[in-house]
Structure 1
Amino acid sequence: MKKIAFLLDGIGNRRHYLQFKILKKHDFTPYALIFEEYLKDAHTLQDLARFHPLPFKRNEVLRKFSFKFLKYFINFVKKEKIKAVLTHRWRFLRYSILTKLFYPELKIIYHIVVSGTLKHPGRRLFFRFFKNKIDCILVNSLALKDELLATHLVKPEEVELLYTSFDLSTFPENLNKDEARKMLNLPEQAFIFGMVAKFRPEKRQIDLIKAFHSIHKETPMAMVVFVGDGPVRKDCEALVKELSLEEKIIFVGKVKQEMVPLYLRAFDVLVHTSIKEGMPLAVLEGLAVGLPIIATDAEGVPDIFATKEPIGYLVPKGDVKAIAEALKKIYHLPKDELELFGKNAKKRFLTAFSPEVFEKRTIEIFSKFF
């Protein structure tokens, strides 16, 4: 059997879930290993992979090195005859490499999804000594690949590019904008700039608020809808109040994942102002429903815009003035040009980031090790 274990920090994400489905379809046996403290939220995993709770607290294993966990993992790999292990966490990578010393036939796939992985000198030293134990290094953007190559610790042929994707089954095909707005009680005649993201400092919703404030008098029908929640939401709400934009900016709060496509259908443009990204699912979701995109050039985002057919505007991260100019420019576009952006966005998704493209690439990569 082609058994592959995923060492997950948490319950995984939609990329993992899609990978589990793909691997099962192609006669692999994926295992999902998660800490017991996440069990209450892990119901979906039991239907997608062989579910294996780890009898450890997260901090025991990831905050400090645990010989107890290492012994447990070595025994698990041998008992279950695991052929490959995949992880995106550095500390899990260390356990996997040490396990391989006792179980040499184990294949290790390291999926890097955020920048700065090898920034620390100690990590670079460890990587230099044990890189030959890693069978595959995956990245989700060209920026991450360039970052790795700049360390001079890997060669270009040693790094594989695997773009993120997700299951489209929750995306309604036949729901139009007017219907979505009625269902969500959003103004039917407004021009809606929408952003879907957790309110964390690096997402910089505050930049969008400042940018919108600078152009809202020139865009009278425009408004902003924020979907999400998080630690900086109160700061953003306070700024909106200070700028007297309460009637122009709506904070929806956190919604269930299946509701996100409904909000996307209601938007005219998706905006993403983050200053730190891997490959943002929110932007890919916007592409999937055919929305024009305004996004900052954080890490993986330029890959999305790497097409000759325009899909919107890519602006420098943290540049409020550039964001404002893009908002104003796209608002005043003729309707046919705006629609063309949307059509190009959908085409870009289908050709580079669709589940079908992700499936083909996943199987190409994983099949090398079995």
Structure 2
Amino acid sequence: MNVLLMTDKLITGGAEHYFCKLENQLNHPKLVFYTAAGKGELFGKISNKEHFTPLSRSNHLLNLLTIKRKVLEHDIDIIHANSLRMALYAIAMKRLIKKGIKIVYTKHNVTMMEKNLRPLFAQLLNRHITKIITVSGYEQENLLQLGIQPSKITTIYNGVDLSQFTYHQKERKNGFKVGILARLSPEKNHTLFLEIARKLKNDPDIQFYIGGEGPEYVRISQMIEEWGLTRHVHMRGEVKDPENFIKEMDVLVLTSHREVFPLVVLEGMAVGTPIVSVNTGGIKEAIISSELGYLVPDYSAESFCEHIVSLKENQQLRVGIARRAREWVQKNFSLEKMVSSTMKEYLNEK
């Protein structure tokens, strides 16, 4: 069987890293894999560039023609869409060429159609999508509440490449680094991160680091200046080696307004950097207790500060959380487990 794996564009993001890691690892004697996406900074991570087809970021008609040519040329049996837009392309393609293509849709985030046109969204998935992969039980439950047929949905958690995100025992040192690694966009809520930094700026040992790029760069920079945080908060820009950024931090923070199941949480747990995160989406399925990290239920900067300070002052606590979190990820969230489960969906195996 021939499989076409598609995503919008290869920019830095959770869904895009998922796409690249899946492309790198997919290998099965019964399957041949092809890929298509808009180009971006992650293109270099694509391993089989001979099977890659670039897509436009804006010309939908051109993309449909490109995908149609790809599907016919390689006799594609399965299209694996990693965004709603790609799923819509696949549905249109199936109707155009009148071929029984299986459509697999991995749902990485909350879509505008899902929020504003819920009955239409449910009808679309029930009628046209063969299989829906959710990356958390939380998201699976949301789809069931929408009326999606239970038989269409399966949860396959994001997986971490444990050979890349190796466990790193922190050495005792001067200074304490608190980091956030996320696209600089409104939903990531960097304002809360800066509020935490402002409350802790009188502790000379704590420094804050922002990794990532995005449309909020100027606004965040201005807030750092206006709030008098230039000596306490440092913007790193694009992070090409996330594992090293995460290992450098003593604590990794998530402040997002919404998340489905962020890979960065698992990456932090894998390398041994304690997580302090908002309790949103499926994050609680990774951090199931305070033995593995801390969840803040109410976006309280004070609660974040309390957890950060307790971790700073208690090395034994940090080491215990780090060790248990690594073991938990190894057991439940490996990349190999994610890939093998995905291939079973392609092959209709259980």
Rate the CA distance shift 1:359–1:221 in 2: closer, same or farther, 3 A.
Answer: same
1:76 equivalent to 2:76? Answer no
Paired letter, 2:196: A
Aligned to 1:234: 218
The 5 Å alignment of 1:1-370 reads 2-11=1-10, 13-25=16-28, 27-35=30-38, 38=39, 42-45=43-46, 47=48, 50-54=51-55, 57-61=56-60, 66=61, 70=64, 73-101=67-95, 102-116=97-111, 117-121=113-117, 124-125=119-120, 127-128=122-123, 131-152=126-147, 154-171=148-165, 177=170, 188-217=173-202, 219-256=203-240, 258=241, 260-306=242-288, 308=289, 310-316=291-297, 318-332=299-313, 334-368=314-348
Instruction: Report how far residue 95 of structure 1 moved.
Output: 2.9
Distance 1:71 1:262 in 2: 41
**Are residues 298 and 115 of structure 1, via their aligned partners in 2, closer, same or farther at CA, if it must alter by over 3 Å?**
same
Displacement after TM superposition at 1:71 (Å): 5.6
Q: 2:86 and 2:329 mapped to 1: Cα distance? A: 31
Contact residue 115 and residue 147 of structure 1 kept, 8 A: no
SS of 1:108's equivalent in the other structure is strand
Identity of counterpart residues, as a percentage?
23
Q: Which amino acid aligns with 1:189?
A: N
Q: Name the CA distance, whole Å, in 2 between partners of 1:229 and 1:97.
A: 33
| Separation in 2, partners of 1:49, 1:14 | 19
Letter in 1 for 2:33: P
Q: Distance in 1 between matches of 2:139 and 2:24?
A: 26
Residues 7 and 19 of structure 2 are in contact (CA less than 8 Å); yes or no, is this contact kept in structure 1? Answer: no
Quick check: 2:287–2:295 contact (8 Å CA) kept in 1?
yes
Give the SS at the match of 1:349.
helix
In the alignment, the residues of structure 2 paired with residue 58 and residue 324 of structure 1 have an alpha-carbon distance, to the nearest angstrom, of 41
Residues 344/119 of structure 1: CA separation in 2 closer, same or farther (3 Å cut):
same
Give yes or no for contact 1:193–1:271 (8 Å, CA) kept in 2.
yes
Bigger-Rg structure (1/2): 1
Please state how far the C-alpha of 1:40 moved relative to its aligned partner. 8.6
Aligned pair in 2 of structure 1 residues 40, 228: CA closer, same or farther (>3 Å)?
Answer: closer
Q: 1:241 to 1:129 in 2, by over 3 A?
A: closer
CA positional deviation for 1:309: 6.4
The CA distance in 2 between the partners of 1:70 and 1:337, in whole Å, is 54
Q: Is the 8 A contact 1:29 1:49 kept in 2?
A: no
Would you say the 8 A contact 2:251–2:308 is kept in 1?
no
Alpha-carbon distance between aligned partners in 1 of 2:50 and 2:159, rounded to the nearest angstrom? 18
Q: Distance in 1 between matches of 2:337 and 2:218?
A: 39
Q: Secondary structure at the residue paired with 2:54?
A: strand
Q: Is the 8 A contact 1:18 1:166 kept in 2?
A: no
- Separation in 1 of the partners of 2:228 and 2:250? 23
Aligned CA distance change for structure 1 residues 368 and 317 (closer, same or farther; 3 Å): farther
CA distance in 2, matches of 1:39, 1:239: 29
Preserved CA contact (<8 Å) 1:20 1:49: no
Gaps of 5+ in 1: 182-187
Q: Which amino acid aligns with 1:88?
A: N
CA distance 1:26–1:268, change in 2 (3 Å): farther
> 1:126: how far off?
5.9
Task: Output the aligned Cα RMSD.
Answer: 2.9
Which AA in structure 2 matches 1:190? G
TM-score by length of 2: 0.86
- What count of residue pairs does the alignment treat as equivalent? 344
Aligned CA distance change for structure 1 residues 16 and 69 (closer, same or farther; 3 Å): closer
Shift of 1:317: 5.5
**Do 1:196 and 1:282's aligned partners in 2 also have CA atoms closer than 8 Å?**
yes
How far 1:146 sits from its partner (Å)? 1.8
For 2:285 and 2:297, how far apart are their aligned partners in 1?
Answer: 14
User: Which piece of structure 1 moves more, 143-152 or 226-235?
Assistant: 226-235
